[in-house]
């Protein structure tokens, strides 16, 4: 009886580990789209995310749906993924993407997208699950217009 219980517990632990690895490795990023054809982005849309974040599960599909609308616009979509914690790779990516000034203030927080002026590093706006796709689209367009001035 004890042996069967041990096997059941071991099976459950292995199953959970497998699901966890799949969740981390199998995630597709809504915000890591390739917009390298945009010469110089004027806005960086930085999504602070993780696999365990319930708000991210709502926010990211909305972003994914509207990203193609901005493929020819001067906006770069970046995802900072904290699924595995606040490791150096996330900080390095933030620095490479021009987010070095804001990263220390927001590191580890998830469930939102910051619209950052690429030239000044200033936060122009933020997107959360309270925004519909239409409102997100309008906020991004407004941020681009503001940064272009």
CATH number of residue 36's parent domain? 3.40.30.10
Q: What is the pTM of this model?
A: 0.75
Alpha-carbon torsion (114, 117, 123, 125), positive or negative = negative
83-121 residue pLDDT tens: 988 778 999 999 999 999 999 999 889 999 999 999 999
23-62 residue pLDDT tens: 443 444 445 544 444 458 999 999 999 999 999 999 999 9
Residue 13 in domain: no
Task: Provide the domain limits for residue 126.
Answer: 26-148
Kindly give, in sequence order, each residue whose CB lies less than 8 Å from that of residue 68, ignoring residues fewer than 6 positions away: none
Q: How many domains does the chain have?
A: 1
Residue 87 in domain: yes
């Amino acid at each position: 009886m004890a042996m069967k219980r041990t096997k059941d517990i071991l099976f459950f632990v292995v199953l959970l580990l497998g699901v966890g690895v799949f969740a981390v490795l199998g995630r597709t990023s809504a915000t890591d789209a390739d917009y390298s054809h945009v010469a110089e982005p004027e806005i960086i849309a930085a999504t602070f995310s993780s696999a365990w974040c319930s708000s991210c599960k709502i926010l990211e599909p909305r972003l994914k749906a509207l990203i193609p609308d901005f493929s020819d616009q001067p906006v770069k979509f970046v995802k900072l993924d904290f699924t595995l914690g606040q490791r150096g790779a996330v900080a390095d990516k933030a620095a490479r993407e021009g987010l070095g000034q804001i990263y220390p203030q927001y590191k580890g927080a998830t469930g939102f997208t910051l619209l950052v002026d690429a030239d000044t590093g200033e936060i122009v706006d933020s997107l959360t699950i309270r925004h519909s796709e239409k409102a997100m689209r309008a906020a991004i367009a407004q941020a681009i217009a503001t940064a272009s001035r």
